[in-house]
């Protein structure tokens, strides 16, 4: 039998054989023993690709040891003619009432499958010869098929009805053959095989996650919706029940506490369930429970449900045996999937397997040694990442000299202006009123001076010395008052002239939508009004570097300043956010002495870099975002690649241990 013909659970012939066996079992009362055995032999031979199949049964004569071949004339045991050996195998099969898969007495490379069954209330034995040794997966499929075959033809016979404990042990032994290391495969097999072996309508597996139980598999479904109401209510019910740690049966005559009765009624409203058992799965050590059940918390639960019958067909012993076997399978799969770095160990194992050849082993060793040497000794440029903006070196921000209201905006975004050009006009009503008031006071003072001077001249003609002295003093006081008023007027005029905002440099207005932002709006003293930049001149980068990289930049700068042969400054490579495909170059021109917090309260170092690339004047715009790297000298390749890990180890792990100088 070729590998492609191996009997597997998903094989089409397997499903066809199950249907044929069910049909034969239903026709048992209306079919003769000879026809029944003949059809059974052909069905088994076709479904398993057996070389020969024989069905043996005791005769109805008084001699209890006499046997006859009911079907399967091509049986190899018949052709071999070894009557004693043949009768020993058949008699042992009838007396033990146990399925066995053993080496064939005819040849070492063949297998003999012995299946005791009952036909018309008479015991019989099916002998199937398989042409070669079987793989473990093939043995599992054959034994499962044998179990189903015996159950189909022994349901109505008391001669094959073993005790519940013995039958549960058989089911547990069968399920242990399906212990898979893949978690998804194991959960799928557990719920689906449990439904078939327990003859129920649905089996659901729930595993503990934190303090709650979550559905991991539902029989008959490859995938399920975890947010469905029926799933959520079953999870809540199982979580409440598993707090007890005991098997829970529905229906029950006991009065249930509200914390269980309420989720139970809610679940029954969503599900057609008539009978249900929730069985806890405990940690297993081989075939034994590691601790006493009374002291162990369940880590999973199996929910067994029936939709039609008022009671489950399977007995408590059957259910308990199956659950213990399922716990072993699930525990092994869970331990396997939680192996630390399992894909890495698996890959290393494959490499070790491939390295059995001397050439491969030497090649792998050479690659590892060269890689370690390169990481340790090969120098590479250590670069620090930075972000920032590009802007002209010469730009000025114009601030409001005093408060007021914008009366006229003379420029707009992109206008070219010269030094001294009017940008906008402000008005200050309070200042205008003050100037008017001072002008009035000056006019009054002039009138008073003229009046006093006229009176004094008239008195001089009549020679009134005392009165002339008083008038001269009054005239001097008024003149001093006039000088003070004129000084105040000059100061106010200066403030009035400042309301005319002018450009401090030659350049371009880079403030967006000046008219909308400043037109007819109140302005506070010191408020930012307009930015003028000399876009035709040299440009620069204003970069922000994380404070953790400040030491590397400062050390590189000091090394370069100390090296007399060093040319220029630290190199900077950057790309524009508007054109990330082109890399531009520059040099660090200045580094701030202190770090400053940013918007997220992370401290950053301010770095300025000079650039001399004429193409940037057309490709970039003012304050365009840039991403840059600053070359900080040479370092081993391993540190350049993994410096984040090295710095983390030093700052978080090594620093955790106290160090004191002796």
State the pLDDT at residue 74.
42
Q: Which of 102-111, 162-171, 527-536 has the lowest mean pLDDT?
A: 162-171
pTM of the model: 0.41
Kindly list the distances between the CA atom of residue 378 and the CA atoms of 114, 367, 556, 630, in Å, as whole numbers in the listed order: 70, 15, 19, 20
Question: Could you please report the per-residue DSSP string of 596-655?
Answer: EE-TTS-EEEEEEEEE--TTHHHH--TTEEEEEEEEEEEEEHHHHHHHHHHHHIIIIIGG
Residue 651 has pLDDT above 80, yes or no: no
| Closest residue by Cα to residue 197 from 175, 223, 215 | 175
pLDDT at 534 over 80: yes
Q: Across residues 390-408, what is the average pLDDT? A: 87
Q: Rounded to an integer, what distance in angstroms lies between the CA atom of residue 523 and that of residue 503? A: 18
CA distances from 59 to 66, 286, 615 (A): 6, 44, 106
Q: Residue 72: its pLDDT value, please?
A: 47
Run of H or E including 447: helix 429-462
User: How far, CA to CA in Å, does 387 sit from each of 103, 518, 608, 621?
Assistant: 75, 31, 11, 16
The more confident residue out of 466 and 535 is: 535
Mean pLDDT of the chain: 78
Residue 149 CA to residue 116 CA, distance in Å, equals 9
pLDDT band for position 657 (50/70/90)? low
Query: Which of 130 and 136 is assigned the larger pLDDT?
Result: 130
Under 8 Å between Cβ of 186 and 329: yes
- DSSP label at residue 239: H
Round to whole Å and give the CA distance between 305 and 39: 35
What pLDDT, on the 0 to 100 scale, is given for residue 331?
Answer: 86
Query: Please, which pLDDT band fits residue 53 given cuts at 50, 70 and 90?
Result: confident
In the predicted structure, residue 380 carries a pLDDT above the cut 80: yes
What local confidence, expressed as pLDDT, does residue 11 receive?
A: 53
- Reported as type and span, the H/E element at residue 203 is strand 202-209
Rounded mean pLDDT of 312-316?
A: 77
Element (H, E) at 427: strand 422-427
**CA pair distance 409, 412, nearest whole angstrom:** 8
More confident residue, 293 or 112: 112
Q: How many CB atoms lie within 10 A of CB 7?
A: 23
Q: Hey, what long-range contacts does 59-66 have (CB within 8 A, 24 or more apart)?
A: 65/91
pLDDT (tens digit, 9 = 90+) per residue, 286-311?
444 444 455 578 999 999 999 887 77
- Per mean pLDDT, which of 28-32, 64-68, 194-198 is the most reliable? 194-198
In this prediction, residue 248 has a pLDDT band, given cuts at 50, 70 and 90, of: very high
pLDDT band of 277, cuts 50, 70, 90: very high
Give the pLDDT score at 300: 92
User: How high is the pLDDT of residue 598?
Assistant: 77
Q: How far apart are CA 324 and CA 42, in angstroms?
A: 36
Which of the pair, 199 or 22, is modelled with greater confidence?
199
Cα Rg for the chain, rounded, in angstroms?
Answer: 49
pLDDT of residue 162: 44
Find the angle CA(434)-CA(435)-CA(439) to the nearest 5 degrees: 120
Q: Give residue-wise pLDDT tens across range 329-374.
A: 888 888 888 888 888 887 777 776 665 666 777 788 889 999 999 8
Helices (H), 49-112: 76-80, 83-96
In tens, the pLDDT along 33-48 reads 777 777 777 777 777 7
Contact 7, 138 (CB under 8 A): yes
| Torsional class of 97: left (φ above 0), alpha (ψ -120 to 50), beta (otherwise) | left
pLDDT (average), residues 89-98: 70
Length of the chain in terms of residues written: 662
């Amino acid at each position: 039998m070729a590998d492609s013909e191996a009997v597997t659970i998903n094989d089409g012939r397997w499903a066809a054989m199950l249907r044929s066996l069910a049909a034969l079992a239903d026709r048992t009362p209306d079919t003769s023993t000879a026809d029944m055995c003949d059809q059974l032999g052909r069905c088994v031979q076709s479904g398993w690709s057996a070389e020969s199949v024989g069905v043996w049964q005791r005769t109805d004569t008084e001699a209890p040891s006499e046997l006859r071949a009911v079907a399967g004339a091509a049986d190899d045991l018949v052709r071999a003619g070894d009557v004693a050996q043949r009768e020993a195998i058949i008699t042992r099969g009838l007396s033990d009432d146990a399925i066995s898969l053993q080496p064939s007495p005819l040849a070492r490379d063949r297998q003999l499958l012995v299946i005791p069954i009952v036909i018309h209330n008479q015991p019989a034995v099916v002998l199937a010869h398989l042409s070669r040794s079987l793989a473990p997966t093939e043995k599992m499929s054959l034994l499962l098929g044998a179990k189903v075959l015996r159950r189909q033809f022994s349901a109505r016979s008391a001669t094959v009805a073993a005790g519940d404990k013995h039958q549960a042990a058989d089911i547990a032994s069968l399920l242990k053959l399906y212990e898979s290391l893949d978690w998804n495969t194991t959960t799928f097999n557990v719920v689906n095989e449990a439904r078939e072996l327990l003859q129920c309508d649905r089996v659901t597996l729930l595993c503990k996650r934190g303090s709650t139980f979550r559905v991991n598999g539902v029989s008959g479904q490859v995938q399920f919706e975890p947010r469905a109401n029926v799933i959520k209510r079953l999870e809540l019910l199982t979580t409440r029940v598993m707090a007890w740690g005991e098997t829970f049966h529905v229906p029950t005559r006991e009065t249930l506490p509200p914390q269980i009765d309420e989720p139970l009624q809610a679940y029954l409203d969503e599900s057609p369930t008539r009978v249900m058992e929730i069985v806890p799965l405990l940690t297993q050590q081989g075939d034994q429970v590691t601790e006493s059940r009374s002291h162990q918390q369940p880590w999973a639960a199996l929910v067994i449900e029936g939709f039609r019958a008022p009671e489950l067909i399977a007995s408590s012993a059957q259910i308990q045996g199956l659950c213990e076997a399922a716990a072993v399978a699930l525990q092994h799969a869970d331990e396997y999937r939680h192996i630390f770095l399992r894909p890495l160990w698996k890959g290393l194992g494959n490499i070790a397997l491939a390295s059995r050849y001397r050439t491969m082993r030497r090649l792998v060793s050479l690659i590892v040694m060269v890689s370690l040497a390169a990481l340790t000794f090969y120098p590479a440029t250590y670069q620090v990442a930075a972000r920032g903006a590009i802007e002209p070196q010469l730009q000025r921000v114009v601030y409001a000299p005093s408060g007021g209201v914008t009366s006229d905006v003379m420029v707009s975004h992109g206008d070219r202006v010269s030094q001294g050009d009017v940008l906008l006009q402000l008005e200050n009503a309070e200042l205008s009123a003050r100037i008017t008031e001072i002008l009035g006071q000056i006019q009054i003072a002039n009138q008073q001076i003229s009046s006093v001077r006229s009176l004094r001249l008239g008195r001089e003609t009549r020679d009134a010395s005392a009165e002339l002295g008083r008038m001269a003093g009054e005239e001097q006081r008024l003149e001093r008052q006039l000088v003070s008023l004129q000084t105040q007027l000059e100061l106010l005029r200066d403030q009035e002239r400042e309301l005319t905002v002018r450009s401090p440099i030659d350049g371009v207005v880079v403030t967006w939508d000046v008219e909308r932002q400043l037109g007819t709006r109140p302005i506070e003293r010191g408020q930012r009004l307009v930015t003028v930049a000399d876009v035709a001149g040299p440009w620069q980068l204003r970069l922000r570097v994380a404070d953790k990289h400040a030491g590397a930049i400062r050390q590189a700068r000091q090394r370069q300043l100390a090296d007399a042969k060093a040319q220029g400054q630290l190199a900077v490579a950057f790309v524009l956010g508007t054109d990330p495909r082109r890399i531009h170059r520059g040099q660090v021109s200045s580094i701030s002495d202190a770090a400053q917090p940013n918007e997220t309260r992370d401290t950053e170092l301010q770095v300025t870099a000079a650039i001399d690339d004429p193409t940037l004047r057309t490709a970039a715009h003012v304050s365009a975002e840039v991403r840059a790297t600053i070359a900080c000298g040479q370092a081993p390749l391993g540190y350049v690649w993994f410096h984040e890990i090295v710095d983390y180890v030093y700052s978080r792990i090594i620093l955790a241990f106290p160090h004191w100088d002796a």
